[in-house]
Every structure is written in C-alpha cells, then in structure tokens.
Chain A
Amino acid sequence: MADLEMKLLGLWCSPFSRRVELALCLKGISYDYIEEDIQNKSPELLKYNPVHKKVPVLVRDGKPIAESLVILEYIDDMWDDKPAILPQEPYERAMARFWARFIDEKCLPSIWKAFWGPKKEQDEAEKEACENLKALENELKGKKFFGGSSIGYLDIVANFIAYWLDAIQKTAGKTILTKESFPLLSQWKVDFVACKVVKENLPPWERLVAYYQIRIEAAKASNDDGKIQIY
C-alpha cells in the first residue's frame, strides 16, 4: 500500500470522529490529525466537505471522504490486507450494516431526544430509546462483542452507547441503560472500553462531562429548548 498523504479532520468529543480514529488504529494506518473548531470551521473543512460541512472527513492524497459509516467502509475496502472490520460473509455484512443504520437513524436520535430534546417530548423519546436499546441488547446474545470474539464494525459504530451515553446520563442525572434492564449491553460496554485500542481513542472523561455540562447550560440560557445539536 503506497504511503500517500492521510489526514483526518475531526473533533475530540465527537463519537463519529472517534469511530474513524478507532478504525484507522485497528488497521495500523498512520495519519495526520487536524482538530476542527466547530464554532469556527476551517477553510479546509469547508473545501473537503462542502455538502455537510461536518467532521469527520478523511482525506487521502487530497481526495476527501465524508460520513463516518462511508469512511469506515472505505478504510475496510482500501486496507483489505489488514484484519477486516466488517464481517466477510454477505449476510453477516448485511446484518452489520442494518444495525449500524439502526444505531445512527433510530437509536442515537431517540437517546439524544430522551435527554436533551424538548421537555414535553422526553418521556416518549425515553420509551423509544429503551425499545431501541432492547433490540441492540438482543443482538448481543451469545456474543462478547457485536463482532463476535473481537470488536468489529458494529462495535465501532455503537461507540456512543459504550461511553458517551454515560457522560450524558451523568450530566442529566438520569440513567436509562441500567444493568438490570440491559445486562448484555452493560457488560459489552465494560469489555469494549477495556480494549487497548479503544481506550487510547476515547475523549478524556472529565473533559467530556464538563463539555456537555457547558452545552446544556448554554442551551438553557438561550431558551433553546431542544436545540442541542448532536455532533
């Protein structure tokens, strides 16, 4: 594999950005990391992701790829001589992709809304979030990780649930992912975060909690009910 210039435009607290870092580390790919300021986006970010203007963006030899799930698949396609992130068998791949979309399109938004959505919609969102988490809990039956005996694509995509959710629960003073209700997910969280590569690619805990605290307070101060953006 030719050593072409590789850079990642990311954000230290973004689970989407950390997914890509985790995948790159799992594959042993070196890259330059550029920390973006979301309140003050760099000309590079706007140039490389003009459509969404978001992180993460992976740039290889000047060619940008945006959207974390797209980037994960690109990394797996490109470095196919390294241990695979996605399963090899088509049906298993389809299942992993289905659950990844489920996490991003259903699970995460419902969790976000349950904690930081408009007050009158939070209870309903919490019910939905728990149903969604239950579906994921079922996927872990008989497995240590979503990827089997070691972490894979779906574990990477579910990173938010393993770590960021705890920070949100702490700042909100409310817990939905309990050991009693979700024994498998609770154990998975512990095992996932204990992996060396994962540990090295998580935002510092205290800093993350403080950051969420500041954002909540800022949103309250501006009377921006339910406008806390997920990134």
Chain B
Amino acid sequence: MGEEGSVKLHGMWASPFARRVNLALKLKGIDYDYIEEDLANKSEELLQYNPISKKVPVLVHNGLPIVESLVILEYIDETWTDSPYLLPKDPYQRAKHRFWAAFFEPIFDMMKKTLMLQGEALETAVKELSEKLDVAEHGMKEIYPNGVPSFSQEVKPGYLDIVFCSLFGTQDVIEEFFGIKVMTPERYPLLVSWIDALKQVPQVQEVTPPKEKLLGFLQFLRQKYLPQNA
C-alpha cells in the first residue's frame, strides 16, 4: 500500500477545527503531511475521505480517514501513546475535560453568526457569547483551581487547552475587526490569562494565522454576508 505509518492532514488555514489537529500533531511531535484545502473547490481526496460532511479537518493515518476534530484528538492520543498526553489519565478528570470541550463546541457557530449580523442583532449575539464565556470563566476554576500553568517543555497544552486555543487564540484580531471588546481581563481574568499563556507556546505560534491574513479573510466573509457593508 505504501502508506504504512503515513500521516496526512487535510485542513484549511483559517479553520479552528483544523488548527486543533495541527496543534495536537505538533505538540506530540508527529511527522505529517499537511494538505491545504480550498473550501470552494474541495479535493477529490477530501470528498472521498469525508463523504458525510465534506469538511476539514480529516486526518488520514495509514490510508484510513478520521473526521471530526475532537474525535481526531482522542485518536491521536490513543495511537501515539508516549507523552505529552492530550487527555488526563484520571477518568474523572477526563470526563471533566470532555464535558468542557463539548461546552465550547457551539461557540464557533456563534462567532460565525456574528459575521452576518449588525446593529441590535449583533449586540444580542455578542451578549449571548459573553454570557457563555461567564459560565466558562467560572467553570475553568475547576480545571485550573490554581490558575493557568506556564506552559513549558514539561507542561504542554492538552486537549482542552487545544480546544480553547483554537477558538480564542485569535480573539484579539477578531475583536479588532469588529471594534468590540468582549474578552476583557476585568470580566474574564482566568480566560484572558489562559490565552496569554497559550500564546507563549511555540507550537501555538506556529499554527496561529498571521493577523493581516486573518483580518483580510474576516473582511472577505463580512462582505459576502453583508455586501452593503463593504
């Protein structure tokens, strides 16, 4: 077959879900080929590997595709079993991390929706997001009761850090684009310190899209959804 041990990732540079997998593979030190997909013109391979949702990311390991970013993260952890471990070893802690990852899941769609809104509707959407973040700020106290660690060679980001980072690692750029401050340190001290700590991690820096490129992309999407706002 010629694919023994081969690891390929089909992704898209702006997709937070693809970013998760990129980050996990880099943190685990796994060699892989990255294939950048044009979502307006998806490759035959992508459509073949993920016929159901036709989305990125798709991880292809030894010719077998795995889809859904959270499923892929667990697959990576269970297949490459050396440290760093993405999920905690203790079953109760694992459950807590999975619970909160599931809690964060709807946030991407909430954020994407804001690109299509303006005026009062946008304000309402931002308020809903802020309230969800209030719950997260409180909830993360049980994940990090002593505050967020300084990530290092010995303490690498894990599953939940990866999920959070993928959604909020570029929060400052998104807020600059909208001209709205949401993630303030006064209201969200723990979440803000979490983003700051993650930004120091070399692998996170490697996978974070450049600011100007992301701003340009947000502008493109906004124009698509609200052409009068050009």
Q: Are A and B co-members of a single complex?
A: yes
Could you list which residues of chain A lie within 8 angstroms of chain B, going by C-beta atoms? 51, 60, 63, 65-67, 69-71, 73-74, 77-78, 90-91, 93-94, 97-98, 101-102, 135
- B98/A70 in contact, CB under 8 A: yes
> B58-80 CB contact bits vs A (8 Å, 1 = yes)?
00010010111011101100110
In the complex, B189 has a CB within 8 A of chain A: no
Q: Given A91-B64, A98-B68, are A51 and B74 also a contact pair (CB < 8 Å)?
A: no
Q: Is the interface of A mostly helix, strand, loop or mixed?
A: helix
- A51/B95 in contact, CB under 8 A: no
- B102/A70 in contact, CB under 8 A: yes
Closest B-chain residue to A75, C-beta based? B91
Closest B-chain residue to A71, C-beta based? B95
Complex: A74 Cα to B71 Cα, angstroms: 16
In the complex, B40 has a CB within 8 A of chain A: no
Tell me which of B52, B102, B135 contacts A102 (CB under 8 A).
B52
Return 16 A-B CB contacts under 8 Å, by A number. Answer: A51-B103, A51-B139, A66-B99, A67-B99, A67-B102, A70-B98, A73-B94, A73-B98, A90-B78, A91-B64, A94-B72, A97-B70, A97-B74, A98-B66, A98-B71, A101-B71
Within 94-110 of B, Cβ neighbours of A (below 8 Å) are at 94-96, 98-99, 102-103
Residues of B within 8 A of A93 (CB): 74-75, 78
Residues of A within 8 A of B102 (CB): 67, 69-70
Q: Given A78-B91, A93-B78, A135-B52, are A65 and B99 also a contact pair (CB < 8 Å)?
A: yes
Residues of B within 8 A of A98 (CB): 66-68, 71
- B68/A74 in contact, CB under 8 A: no
Complex: A124 Cα to B139 Cα, angstroms: 38
Closest A-chain residue to B90, C-beta based? A77
Residues of A within 8 A of B103 (CB): 51
In angstroms, how far is the closest chain A Cβ from the Cβ of B77? Answer: 9
Residues of A within 8 A of B79 (CB): 90
Complex: A77 Cα to B78 Cα, angstroms: 13
Complex: A94 Cα to B64 Cα, angstroms: 11
- B91/A94 in contact, CB under 8 A: no
Closest A-chain residue to B98, C-beta based? A70
Complex: A135 Cα to B53 Cα, angstroms: 11
Residues of B within 8 A of A63 (CB): 92
Complex: A201 Cα to B23 Cα, angstroms: 42
- B92/A65 in contact, CB under 8 A: yes
Residues of B within 8 A of A135 (CB): 52
Closest A-chain residue to B81, C-beta based? A90
Residues of A within 8 A of B96 (CB): 65
Residues of A within 8 A of B139 (CB): 51
> B129-153 CB contact bits vs A (8 Å, 1 = yes)?
0000001000100000000000000
- A91/B66 in contact, CB under 8 A: yes
Closest B-chain residue to A131, C-beta based? B52
Tell me which of B92, B94, B135 contacts A51 (CB under 8 A).
B135
Closest B-chain residue to A80, C-beta based? B91
Tell me which of A65, A73, A77, A94 contacts B66 (CB under 8 A).
A94
Q: Given A77-B91, A102-B52, are A94 and B74 also a contact pair (CB < 8 Å)?
A: yes
Q: Given A51-B139, A67-B102, A90-B78, are A101 and B68 also a contact pair (CB < 8 Å)?
A: yes
In angstroms, how far is the closest chain B Cβ from the Cβ of A201? Answer: 21
Complex: A97 Cα to B101 Cα, angstroms: 14
In angstroms, how far is the closest chain B Cβ from the Cβ of A131? Answer: 10
Closest A-chain residue to B89, C-beta based? A77
Closest A-chain residue to B66, C-beta based? A94
Residues of A within 8 A of B74 (CB): 93-94, 97
Complex: A101 Cα to B70 Cα, angstroms: 10
Residues of B within 8 A of A101 (CB): 68, 70-71
In angstroms, how far is the closest chain A Cβ from the Cβ of B111? Answer: 18
In angstroms, how far is the closest chain A Cβ from the Cβ of B46? Answer: 16
In angstroms, how far is the closest chain A Cβ from the Cβ of B56? Answer: 15
In angstroms, how far is the closest chain A Cβ from the Cβ of B148? Answer: 20
Q: Given A94-B71, A94-B72, A102-B52, are A74 and B94 also a contact pair (CB < 8 Å)?
A: yes
- A73/B71 in contact, CB under 8 A: no
Complex: A156 Cα to B125 Cα, angstroms: 36
- A77/B68 in contact, CB under 8 A: no
